[in-house]
Chain A
Amino acid sequence: ETGVTQSPTHLIKTRGQQVTLRCSSQSGHNTVSWYQQALGQGPQFIFQYYREEENGRGNFPPRFSGLQFPNYSSELNVNALELDDSALYLCASSFSRLNNMNTEAFFGQGTRLTVV
């Protein structure tokens, strides 16, 4: 176990709806990254939060947004869901410093989102 927990584990939503996924980072970690893993693909970086601020974003539209809370837990919000948003959403936590963001990440089990 990595100490990174995600909820819910599975979710079914209808196209056009909004969804919120949650992640509790490992104790002592201050950085959370979110990834989307489509079927048969490797995880793709969505964005990263460091000490409650967005600290980098991948090639995802603005309807993908996030938050990080003072306890370093995080949420991923997706608005106006599309069928192609169906995927496994992974959260990864790590401990970073401003001069060293490239540290080992620990992954949660993911949330399987199905959009119908």
Chain B
Amino acid sequence: AQSVSQHNHHVILSEAASLELGCNYSYGGTVNLFWYVQYPGQHLQLLLKYFSGDPLVKGIKGFEAEFIKSKFSFNLRKPSVQWSDTAEYFCAVNALRGSQGNLIFGKGTKLSVKP
């Protein structure tokens, strides 16, 4: 069965620190990959997505992610975090075979940024 692993449950950083959140998935075929963010009290919002092409994907608010197919990974990065980045971050995978288009999510990483 397909699964998504997010390695960090809770990350605490100071403002201006660099961020990298790990995401690995288990599926041998072609996938679409997503990072969603959930700010406190708000809906899930798409940060960025990878469908095909350049494996380095740039998203909103200065976030980027790199798809490394050989490692089944799609790690999220930001060079300098802000207090407003405090939120929960979810990695999600959508397999392109045998799927009706549903997303499989990781358990999420809570990011707390100290001002």
Q: Which of A4, A41, A48, A94 contacts B108 (CB 8 A)?
A: A41
Chain A residues with Cβ below 8 Å from B106 are 42
Q: How many pairs, one residue from A and one from B, have CB atoms within 8 Å of each other in the complex? A: 69
- Give the interface size class of chain A: 20 to 34
Chain A residues with Cβ below 8 Å from B6 are 42
Given known contacts A40-B107, A44-B105, A104-B49, is B44 in contact with A55 (CB within 8 Å)? no
Residue pair B43, A42 in contact (C-beta under 8 Å) = no
Chain A residues with Cβ below 8 Å from B4 are 42
Give CA–CA (A106, B104) in the complex, Å. Answer: 15
Give CA–CA (A94, B104) in the complex, Å. Answer: 16
B70 within 8 A of A: no
Residue pair A101, B101 in contact (C-beta under 8 Å) = yes
Interface centre among A96, A102, A103, A110 (most CB of B within 10 A): A102
Chain B residues with Cβ below 8 Å from A107 are 36, 43-45
Residue pair A56, B90 in contact (C-beta under 8 Å) = no
Which residues of A come within 8 Å of B, CB atoms?
A: 2, 4, 31, 33, 35, 40-45, 48, 50, 55-56, 58, 90, 92, 94, 96, 101-110
11 contacts between A and B (CB under 8 A): A41-B107, A42-B6, A44-B105, A45-B102, A48-B101, A56-B101, A101-B101, A102-B96, A102-B101, A107-B44, A107-B45
Task: List the 3 closest A-B pairs by CB distance, nearest first.
Answer: A56-B100, A101-B101, A42-B105
